[in-house]
Chain A
């Protein structure tokens, strides 16, 4: 049996150990926001956070996900209450077909946690582990910059509330 903690919920699953984490998240837990395209860690569509670090889940076996906090796009906002990064992607239209979008949003979340006040160059570089075939890159950079601003404002407000 494999125990996974995903988006704060614990699941115990009877799955073959040769299955990838991406496959199990999609097909056993129904988390279809984990998109699978290349299956070789190149495109970044299947990016999830493992203890806050961005990982291409198509390159992980399911058991490697045990003992970690996993987060998928489904663990961020909902359509009624978008996470600031998701809100920024909507506002800047940082997508077209959006197959890659959950992966970009998760990569952005990890990046902004590490670098809350990035330059555009740093952002473009950080977003280069993911592929957007529709070519929304300038608007993805806009979205991440805008998200950084939103998160700084939110965190600033939190700090002020705590004071």
Chain B
């Protein structure tokens, strides 16, 4: 199955992204930039209470206001549940109950935003205020206020192997932890908007989304109308990181447009983006790890809580760190998803790995210190290697969609070329730790646990290392497909619905198609947002884009290429074996003889079928014809990062002085794109490590810093501008041209590296985010 030839002509090249000139000229259109004819503007009425039920709602004054086209309340909405990908949202569009301050309660469409806002204020609502709960430990109690019909907590998601009692017995050294994580906000730059327009019983929805197919499914579930009557046109997103998948305000827009009998646009304010959509979960890890004196981990036992807020529904975050530290002899990991009356929590980049994973890294570091081992060596000793068993197979209940049923449902002969399931197919942290440590000068710069390399008055400088891992896509809730058309002029059109969240996937997918066909990149165009032309695909989530969508794009291109070569063999090469033909730079020729006299451009092959009056097609369409093996069962991405920090022990301020990121994502399809992904992740992780957190009001649970003034993000001068990125040369047997996923491991590694460096500088472990106040307090200051 592997495409072993590494002699690529388009893959591996740092070509400029296809939309680069639109991006630098400001011409790129995000959803906020779009208008349609005769469009009305919508505004949403938001719940002022943490938990309340509407007992009376009177919209007559709002409806009577000049310029108002319609008011939508829960009395108008279907009683159907809809669910966003991976349980990032589960509930009804509007059901008359507010589950957090800022929850969607009703909406108005009017001739202008101002009038819509005015009308929202004219809606008279009476609420029955319900008891609320913000703390996830409180929410677990039997007598806690119940937020959802399903109860506040569901069965834990458990992965276990071996026998932790044995692990305990074999441990010569143990460490316990109890770590609480604040909530990071996606804090998108740019806002989002949704525009919906009905034509008869069909609706079109334009919005910025990473998940066009899944959004169409959400509209279908919420409204109960056929998929064929829903068209999603996903526009590019401003920075998203999981925020703009399928969101409730998008479906409200669809219903409001129907009520108002015209196109409606709802544009969220910056505050609405930060306080009413989603955030990273608040999380808490309690755990215990043990190892032998020579550093072999015998026990890894973690109990982890995640707070889903009002509508999140997750319970399975963060098992990729379990696999990474999979050499632990005995393990037990449990994750409990809990609802509270806070803003909905959902998957943000590196979900779980930035919290549970960071906890495991910290406890492992503390073990390494106890046995006197270097953190690089300790990781190499205990982290998974290619071919070794993945621990996720030992889950007590399977991942969503049931992986066993998925695998059992596939014909045996189609599995023949699959790699060994539940074993790591390729890559590891070993290479990147080794090459990274070498390039960073780790051996010279690391002075031992809790020891700065330089002390200068109150300033302490030290280095740290951290690792991160993640899946490369997830297979359930529908498989991933793509379609590739060869046009009569020999150009390719790729259709794959990954959306455009900015990382450059339209370019890397095009590189995969160009390489697979044997044409230059400028012959490939791509559509990633239109669900009417793109087959169902997971969007850009779970680091799925290169591995799984890229696999589908390559498979679809290979299918189109096969058809093309069959026609060429028959019509132009006297019935030669198509397997003996090849394509280079858009020209079909006998294999190994690109300069042969018998060479025909693709256009000529297309001409043959077009001039055949009995033929039924004038273009070629390719699609994947075999199922992709389930990536969760063998593919992982790895990051190892090295950082130097300076901590002022008087003010508690942390500065990042130097940074090196080593990444194992298999074949690098586009080094420019990948280094941006890696450093972008590292910066987002460093921000979470030292600044970023939402502040919830103690009385109401409302978010107090839902703006970019009070929610602090790193800026250019806050991160080393000389940061280096290195790539391993591993090659995956399944991924397109050996490539794997990339976007999520870097953020997890960064958090762990910064936390360890601060420990090495100061001798104390500080809870995240390591704000100046917390650093000073941890050091015993006031």
A86 close to B (CB within 8 Å): yes
Does A93 lie within 8 Å of B17, measured CB to CB? yes
Closest residue on chain A to residue B271 by CB atoms: A39
Closest residue on chain A to residue B30 by CB atoms: A99
B717 close to A (CB within 8 Å): yes
Contact of B189 among A37, A74, A128 (CB under 8 A): A37
Interface string of A50-91 (1 = CB under 8 A from B): 000000000000000000000011101111001000110111
A131 close to B (CB within 8 Å): yes
Contact of A82 among B21, B189, B240 (CB under 8 A): B21
* Docked CA distance A157–B30 (Å): 38
* Docked CA distance A98–B16 (Å): 14
On chain A, the residues within 8 Å of B188 by CB distance are 37, 133
Does B684 lie within 8 Å of A99, measured CB to CB? no
On chain A, the residues within 8 Å of B240 by CB distance are 97
Does A140 lie within 8 Å of B716, measured CB to CB? yes
Closest residue on chain A to residue B23 by CB atoms: A98
B535 close to A (CB within 8 Å): no
Given A124-B716, A125-B717, decide whether A101 and B24 contact each other with a Cβ distance below 8 A.
yes
* Docked CA distance A133–B501 (Å): 12
Q: Write the residues of chain B forming the contact surface with A, with a CB cutoff of 8 angstroms.
A: 16-17, 19-30, 32-33, 187-191, 236-240, 269-270, 501-504, 672-673, 675-677, 679-684, 707-709, 713-723
On chain B, the residues within 8 Å of A74 by CB distance are 25-26
On chain A, the residues within 8 Å of B237 by CB distance are 97
A24 close to B (CB within 8 Å): no
Does A40 lie within 8 Å of B709, measured CB to CB? yes
* Docked CA distance A141–B719 (Å): 11
Given A93-B672, A93-B673, A138-B721, decide whether A131 and B24 contact each other with a Cβ distance below 8 A.
no
Given A40-B709, A135-B719, decide whether A96 and B681 contact each other with a Cβ distance below 8 A.
no
Number of interface residues of A (CB under 8 A): 55
Closest residue on chain A to residue B32 by CB atoms: A36
A151 close to B (CB within 8 Å): no
* Docked CA distance A38–B189 (Å): 8
Interface residue SS majority, chain B: loop
Does B676 lie within 8 Å of A96, measured CB to CB? yes
Given A124-B716, A131-B189, decide whether A39 and B269 contact each other with a Cβ distance below 8 A.
yes
Known: A102-B24, A137-B714. 4 other contacts (CB 8 A): A77-B25, A82-B24, A131-B715, A138-B723
Contact of A43 among B676, B681, B708 (CB under 8 A): B708
Contact of B681 among A76, A105, A120, A135 (CB under 8 A): A135
Does B24 lie within 8 Å of A105, measured CB to CB? yes
Contact of B679 among A42, A45, A105, A136 (CB under 8 A): A136
Contact of A97 among B190, B713, B716 (CB under 8 A): B190
Does A39 lie within 8 Å of B682, measured CB to CB? no
Does A38 lie within 8 Å of B270, measured CB to CB? yes
A109 close to B (CB within 8 Å): no
Given A38-B270, A105-B24, A135-B683, decide whether A32 and B16 contact each other with a Cβ distance below 8 A.
no
On chain B, the residues within 8 Å of A120 by CB distance are 721-722
On chain A, the residues within 8 Å of B672 by CB distance are 93
Given A37-B270, A78-B25, A79-B27, decide whether A124 and B680 contact each other with a Cβ distance below 8 A.
no
B20: min CB distance to chain A, Å: 4
Does B25 lie within 8 Å of A96, measured CB to CB? no
Interface CB pairs A-B, < 8 A, 21: A32-B29, A33-B26, A36-B191, A37-B188, A37-B190, A38-B709, A82-B24, A86-B21, A93-B672, A96-B503, A96-B677, A97-B502, A102-B24, A127-B715, A130-B715, A133-B189, A133-B713, A135-B714, A137-B683, A137-B719, A138-B723
* Docked CA distance A126–B240 (Å): 25
On chain B, the residues within 8 Å of A139 by CB distance are 675-676, 679
Closest residue on chain A to residue B746 by CB atoms: A135
On chain A, the residues within 8 Å of B270 by CB distance are 37-39
